[in-house]
């Protein structure tokens, strides 16, 4: 490993997950099983992928952990908040994602992960009815209670560092209001004034995490850290933030397949995406106000890859529609259909059909691992604010829309950003360009 300014990954890394449902329990169980040598962390780029560093005679292909100091799986300690009181073992069984034989070997460790009462407001997720919730005087008090939880968890588990990961349900859509979200001072005043309309519970988690020196990762499409006040807080605390919305199934396909159409200079008439799922996420998204948050996230992907202004003959006025349908029999086994109407030589129409029968939490778990390890790495490398290099993992990458910045949604361009960031933090030259 080259000499770098990145601080070593010494001591334990606390991983505090908001939500102890299907995604979190699959993530935690997989890590516990992997470090016992009983399963493989398939899908995790930090554990498997290799990056080229150097050129010519200096060229070599190395795992991420050979380029930068990553936290070992054996040094991770898990905790959670959830509206339901079930411990991680019970929650993993209830989620019905993993087979019992893949949970049983780590039962004792999972049973010790008992969720702390959640900071929860039923107005933001009306389909959830758990009773393991905090009693809060106002939004500021809610945030302070979360800070206490983080401090206590860190001390009780002898953690050197903590990362907070949102893997809970999608909240209702919260539009950015400049008078509230435009500055840190106004945002803090709104929290103290208990402005429940503009301050979501997830924002209290993010604020608390950053104030406690913990990177924050938004795994849902919530507005949470995607506004100027939170960017200012990340700058003030010198902490990394990343979001939003884990890129697991359909959007992963879209961000990888749309570049095929664009690179081949084929035209697009329309792209209709629909999927069915039956887990707790599906239940929450069955509420129109919550689906609106997800819709905004999923719709944003295509428009920055196939841009009308760049190719008016090919991408003017295409129709893009996204639908999610709650269907309980499928539980976590999500099915996505994409119907893509394209046109080619002399305008002749063609169609592409993609049917992805995926497992939502099986795809999300390795993303959680990578986002946690890389956010912790960024903090030790003194990289703070929005971590654009993590957009590879996210459906709706955060960007500075106040400066008309266009997010990069093209999967292979995102991969270049990821590789260059790892190279830089490892003391190598960031030698690939995004064309």
The angle formed by the CA atoms of residues 287, 400 and 412, to the nearest 5 degrees, is 85
Sequence ranges of the domains in the chain: 12-246+362-425, 250-359
Q: Are 410 and 255 spatial neighbours (Cβ–Cβ below 8 Å)? A: yes
Banded model confidence at residue 293, pLDDT cuts 50, 70, 90: low
Which residues pair with residue 36 across a beta bridge? none
The pLDDT value given to residue 26: 98
Token pair recorded at residue 143: 């945030």
Neighbours of 288 (CB within 10 A): 10
The answer to whether 12-246+362-425 and 250-359 have equal CATH topology is no
Q: Count other Cβ atoms within 10 Å, centred on residue 435.
A: 6
Structure tokens at 86: 């079930």
For the stretch 367-380, pLDDT in tens is 999 999 999 999 99
CA 323 – CA 416 distance, rounded (Å): 30
Spatial distance between the Cα atoms of 161 and 148, rounded to a whole number of angstroms: 15
Q: How far apart are CA 388 and CA 405, in angstroms?
A: 12
Q: What is the CATH number of domain 12-246+362-425?
A: 3.40.50.720
- Tokens found for residue 16: 């505090």
Which of 304, 315, 329, 318 has the alpha carbon at shortest distance from 270? 318
Q: Is 269 helix (H, G, I), strand (E, B) or coil?
A: strand
Q: 217, 210 in Cβ contact below 8 A?
A: no
Burial 236-273 (b: 16+ CB within 10 A, else e): ebebbbbbbbbbbbbbbbbbebbbebbeeebbbbebeb
How sure is the predictor about 126, in pLDDT bands with cuts at 50, 70 and 90?
Answer: confident
Q: What is the signed CA dihedral for 248, 249, 251, 256, rounded to 10 degrees?
A: 90
User: How far, in Å, CA of 246 to CA of 92, rounded?
Assistant: 20
301 falls in which pLDDT band (50, 70, 90)? confident
Other CB atoms within a 10 A radius of the CB of residue 293 amount to 24
What does the DSSP 8-state code read for residue 238?
Answer: T
**pLDDT average, residue stretch 309-321:** 94
DSSP 56: G
| Closest of 93, 71, 75 to residue 84, by C-alpha | 93
Cβ contacts of 387 within 8 Å, gap of 6 or more = 240, 241, 242, 374, 375, 378, 421
Does residue 294 carry a pLDDT above 70?
A: no
Q: How many CB atoms lie within 10 A of CB 174?
A: 21
Q: Among all chains, which residue has been given the structure tokens 């995406």?
A: 273
Phi, then psi, of 266 in degrees rounded to 5: -95, 155
pLDDT at 249: 85
Range 250-359: architecture per CATH: 2-Layer Sandwich (3.30)
pLDDT digits (tens, 9 = 90+) for 189-229: 999 999 999 999 999 999 999 999 999 999 999 999 999 99
Give the pTM. Answer: 0.94
Instruction: Identify the H or E element spanning 420.
Output: helix 411-425
Q: What is the pLDDT of residue 304?
A: 86
Do the Cβ atoms of 302 and 320 come closer than 8 Å? yes
pLDDT-derived band at 388 (thresholds 50, 70, 90) equals: very high
In this structure, of 118-127, 137-146, 275-284, 340-349, the range with the lowest mean pLDDT score is 275-284
Report the distance separating Cα 417 and Cα 398, nearest Å. Answer: 14
Average pLDDT over residues 26-51: 98
Q: Mean pLDDT over all residues of the chain?
A: 94
Mean pLDDT, to the nearest integer, of 1-16? 92
Q: Could you tell me what percent of the chain has a pLDDT over 70?
A: 98
User: In the predicted model, what is the mean pLDDT of residues 22-44?
Assistant: 98
pLDDT score recorded for residue 330:
87
Q: Are 207 and 142 in contact (CB under 8 A)?
A: no
Mean pLDDT of 303-314: 93
pLDDT at residue 334 tops 80: yes
Q: Please spell the DSSP secondary structure of 64-113, one letter per residue.
A: HHHHS-PPPGGGEEEEEEESS---HHHHHHHHT-S-GGGTGGGHHHHHT-
Return the C-alpha torsion angle 68, 71, 73, 78, nearest 10: -150
pLDDT given for residue 435 in this prediction: 81
Between 411-425 and 250-263, two packed helices, what is the crossing angle to 10 degrees?
100
């Amino acid at each position: 490993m080259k000499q770098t300014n990145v601080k070593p990954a010494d001591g334990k890394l606390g991983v505090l997950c908001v939500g102890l449902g299907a995604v979190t329990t699959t993530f935690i169980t997989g890590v516990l099983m992997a470090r016992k040598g009983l399963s493989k962390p398939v899908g995790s780029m930090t554990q498997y992928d290799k990056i080229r560093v150097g050129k010519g005679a200096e060229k070599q292909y190395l795992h991420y952990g050979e380029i930068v100091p990553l936290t070992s799986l054996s040094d991770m300690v898990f905790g959670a908040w959830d509206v339901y009181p079930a411990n991680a073992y019970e929650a993993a069984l209830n989620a019905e994602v993993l087979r019992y034989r893949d949970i049983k070997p780590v039962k004792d460790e999972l049973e010790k992960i008992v969720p702390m009462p959640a900071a929860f407001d039923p107005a933001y997720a009306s389909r959830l009815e758990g009773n393991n919730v905090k009693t809060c005087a106002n939004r500021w008090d809610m945030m302070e209670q979360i800070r206490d939880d983080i401090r206590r968890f860190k001390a009780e588990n002898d953690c050197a560092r903590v990362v907070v990961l949102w893997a809970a349900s999608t909240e209702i859509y919260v539009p950015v209001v400049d008078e509230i979200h435009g500055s840190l001072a106004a945002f803090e005043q709104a929290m103290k004034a208990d402005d429940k309309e503009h301050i979501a519970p997830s924002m209290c988690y993010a604020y608390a995490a950053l104030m406690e020196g913990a990177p924050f990762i938004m795994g849902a499409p919530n507005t949470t850290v995607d506004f100027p006040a939170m960017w200012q807080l990340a700058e003030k605390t010198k902490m990394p933030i990343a979001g939003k919305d884990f890129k697991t199934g359909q959007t992963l396909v879209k961000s990888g397949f749309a570049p095929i159409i664009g690179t081949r200079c084929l035209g697009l008439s329309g792209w209709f995406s629909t999927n069915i799922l039956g887990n707790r996420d599906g239940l929450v998204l069955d509420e129109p106000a919550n689906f609106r948050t997800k819709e905004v996230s999923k719709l944003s992907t295509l428009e920055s890859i196939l841009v009308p202004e760049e190719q008016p003959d090919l991408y003017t006025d295409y129709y893009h529609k996204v639908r999610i349908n709650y269907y309980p029999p499928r539980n976590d086994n999500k099915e996505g259909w994409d119907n893509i109407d394209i046109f080619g030589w002399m305008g002749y129409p063609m169609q592409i059909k993609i049917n992805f029968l995926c497992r939502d939490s099986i795809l999300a778990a390795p993303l959680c691992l990578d986002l946690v390890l890389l956010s912790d790495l960024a903090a030790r490398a003194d990289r703070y604010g929005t971590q654009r290099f993590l957009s590879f993992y996210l459906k709706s990458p955060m960007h500075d829309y106040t400066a008309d910045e266009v997010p990069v949604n093209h999967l292979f361009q995102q991969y270049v950003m990821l590789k260059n960031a790892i190279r830089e933090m490892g003391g190598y030259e960031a030698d690939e360009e995004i064309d």
